[in-house]
Amino acid sequence: MTNNQDFIEPEVLTQGAKRVLIKFAGGTRQPQQALIGPGTTSYELLRHLGLSRDYALSAGTANTTFGGNEILYPLVNDGDLLFVSSLVDAGI
């Protein structure tokens, strides 16, 4: 799959990959489709998107932010919408 490709080959999906749509919060970057296979972590997906560990991946709310080494495959469904935002450290 290339970055701007909207069509994913059917045989890739039958091999167990899940499609997700990634939206980028606070930026002008267009939403992007990605494939997640068994064992894919948040950091691997961010790296695939060309992003560093300075970003967080979530299902939309603060309590659904995935850990960097968290395996995404069992936590998402095919067709889910995920969000990328800047990682913010809160402290005193």
Which CATH number characterizes residue 26's domain?
3.10.20.90
pLDDT of residue 6: 45
Task: Sheet with 18-24: list strands edge to edge.
Answer: 32-36, 18-24, 80-86, 55-58
Q: Residues of the chain whose pLDDT is less than 50?
A: 1-8, 12
pLDDT of residue 14: 56
Contacts of 51 (CB under 8 A, 6+ apart): 84
Q: 80: domain range?
A: 14-86
How many domains, in total, are found in the chain? Answer: 1
Is 5 domain-assigned?
no
